[in-house]
């Protein structure tokens, strides 16, 4: 029976020859993830089960949302995760100073690989589909059961095939591609479906592009996003993943609910206007929109390639006097590499502030909360009302080059305006 990539991975995880959309199955898991917000309630539920963790090497705990701790409550939540990790001998616990934003960190350290099944108590766990894995978010209660059993249940999603062709122009990256797709189908256009990316255009995308695109599959309502494994993937995995893994490919006659075509060469830098990621407009079509803050980072755009783009733009101008610019490297390794390449110096000389790795402002946590009436351009993944602060603030989603150019101009701007 012909199957998609997602169906093949789930079938193998369930010990079945094949699966079909809508089928309820139980799968063994390769990795279970929680953070400092979702971990504590999962730990409380886990305690009620009364058994040890299924495998201390297959659980990852990453305190990244409110760490370094912003207040007493966040300190207590991080303490609960820390003590649980010590009590159960969790191998992949990442303390402050060694941590990073979870969805940047886990691929970086080789904890996710092709063909694996990963769940996390965080909606952007779908990031790991960039490596040809099935990865999706779950609730804290499901996570608690998974930590005890190493299994969970799924309803097999139907698939949407996204055919990519051509090569993206300069300054068009993964963020522009996924925002363009969300603008086409809407925030519920792939509800409980698998977004499977294919076509010769995939080869033109960096791993950072793919991680960004897979990350925001959830913003289209998707159960997961997934890319085929190619030379770019395998090169990224070198030196990171030493264990055996299985590369899965979709059958040529696999059945998809719909197919979407995107010509990468026809794309331009875009911005998602408040208050939905589907409100997508080309930057060069916007009227003058003045801004108060720029955030460059997050699990969507906190990788070294993202900081490289921002640094290239900031090398041509300083932060506008009216604007606060906040740069957040995705991990300690990204921070170190950015420092070695001179990007941190570029940011500081431009008038930006550089933070330790944290989710921070993305979820309205800290390190960049907006007041009433303020506008921010952010490389994060959501711009719902009140997402980054006051309910009367506005968040405009963009890639790092547009964000940097906007910081310099004091309004939403394209990088071409700065580099002209």
The structural domains of the chain, ordered by start, are 5-263 (3.30.499.10), 271-414 (3.30.499.10)
| Closest-CA residue to 179 (of 215, 204, 150) | 215
CB 140 within 8 A of CB 52: no
- Asked if 152 and 145 count as a contact pair (C-beta separation under 8 A), the reply is yes
Find the farthest-apart pair of alpha carbons in the chain and give their distance in angstroms, rounded: 64
Instruction: Calculate what percentage of the chain has a pLDDT beyond 70.
Output: 100
pLDDT of residue 420 exceeding 80: no
Q: Is the pLDDT of residue 257 over 80?
A: yes
pLDDT at 1 (0 to 100): 83
Q: How is residue 129 written in tokens?
A: 């589909």
Which among 418, 175, 174 has a CA at the least distance from the CA of 312?
Answer: 418
Average confidence (pLDDT) over 219-231? 97
32/58 Cα distance (integer angstroms) = 6
pLDDT exceeds cutoff 80 at 350? yes
Peptide bond into 275 cis (omega under 30): yes
Q: Is the pLDDT assigned to residue 345 strictly greater than 90?
A: yes
Task: Give me 53's structure tokens.
Answer: 């963790």
pTM score > 0.85 for this model?
yes
* Helix H or strand E encompassing 397: strand 394-397
* pLDDT (0 to 100) of residue 160: 98
86 CB-contact burial (10 Å; exposed 0-12 / middle 13-18 / buried 19+) = exposed
Tokens for 160, please give them: 């949407």
> What confidence tier does 25 reach under pLDDT thresholds 50, 70, 90?
very high
Helix (H, G, I), strand (E, B) or coil at 160: strand
Closest CA to 137 of 225, 199, 232: 225
* Strands annotated E in 63-176: 92-93, 117-120, 134-137, 151-155, 158-165
Tokens linked to 414: 């394209």
Structure confidence by residue, pLDDT tens digits, 241-252: 999 999 999 999
Question: What's the average model confidence in pLDDT over 300-325?
Answer: 97
At 179-224, the pLDDT tens digits run: 999 999 999 999 999 999 999 999 999 999 999 999 999 999 999 9
pLDDT over threshold 80, residue 94: yes
What's the rounded Cα separation, in Å, for the pair 210 and 226? 9
> Is residue 107 over pLDDT 90?
yes
Per-residue pLDDT at 8 exceeds 80? yes
Mean pLDDT over each residue of the chain, to the nearest integer? 96
pLDDT of residue 200: 96
Provide the percentage of residues in the chain whose pLDDT is more than 90: 97
Taking the C-alpha atoms of residue 180 and residue 198, their distance in angstroms, rounded to an integer, is 16
CA dist 78 → 67, 81, 242, 299, 407 (Å):
8, 5, 30, 19, 33
> Which two structure tokens, joined as six digits, stand for 337?
């590499």
């Amino acid at each position: 029976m012909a199957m998609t990539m997602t169906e093949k991975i789930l079938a193998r995880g369930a010990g079945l020859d094949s699966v079909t959309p809508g089928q309820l199955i139980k799968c063994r898991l390769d990795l279970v993830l929680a953070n400092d917000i979702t971990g504590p309630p999962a730990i409380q539920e886990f305690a009620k089960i009364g058994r040890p963790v299924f495998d201390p090497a297959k659980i990852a705990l990453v305190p990244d949302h409110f760490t370094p701790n912003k207040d007493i409550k966040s300190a207590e939540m991080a303490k609960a995760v820390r003590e649980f990790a010590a009590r159960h001998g969790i191998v992949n616990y990442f303390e402050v100073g060694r941590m990073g934003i979870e969805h940047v960190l886990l691929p970086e350290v080789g904890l996710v690989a092709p063909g694996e099944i990963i769940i996390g108590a965080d909606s952007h766990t779908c990031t790991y589909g960039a490596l040809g894995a099935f990865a999706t978010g779950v609730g804290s209660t499901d996570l608690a059961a998974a930590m005890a059993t190493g299994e969970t249940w799924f309803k097999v999603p139907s698939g949407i095939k996204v055919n990519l062709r051509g090569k993206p122009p300069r300054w068009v990256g993964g963020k522009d591609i996924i925002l363009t797709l969300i603008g086409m189908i809407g925030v519920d256009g792939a509800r409980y479906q698998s977004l499977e990316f294919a076509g010769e255009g995939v080869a033109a995308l960096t791993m950072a592009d793919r991680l960004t695109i897979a990350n925001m599959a959830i913003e289209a309502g998707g159960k997961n996003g997934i890319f085929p494994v190619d030379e770019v993937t395998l090169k990224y995995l070198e030196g990171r993943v030493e264990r055996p893994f299985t590369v899965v490919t979709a059958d040529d006659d696999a059945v998809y609910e719909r197919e979407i075509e995107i010509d990468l060469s026809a794309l331009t830098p875009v911005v998602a206007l408040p208050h939905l990621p589907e409100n997508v407009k080309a930057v060069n079509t916007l009227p003058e929109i003045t801004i108060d803050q720029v955030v460059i980072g997050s699990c969507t755009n906190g990788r070294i390639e993202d900081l490289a783009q921002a640094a290239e733009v900031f090398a041509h101008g300083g932060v506008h006097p009216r604007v606060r610019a906040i740069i957040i490297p995705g991990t300690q390794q990204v921070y170190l590499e950015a420092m070695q390449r001179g990007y941190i110096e570029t940011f500081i000389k431009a008038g930006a502030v550089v933070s330790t790795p944290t989710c921070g402002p993305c979820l309205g946590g800290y390190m960049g909360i907006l007041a009433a009436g303020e506008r921010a351009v952010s490389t994060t993944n959501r711009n719902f009302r009140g997402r980054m602060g006051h309910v009367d603030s506005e968040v405009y989603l963009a890639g790092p080059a547009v964000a940097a150019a906007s910081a310099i101009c004091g309004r939403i701007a394209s990088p071409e305006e700065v580099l002209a």
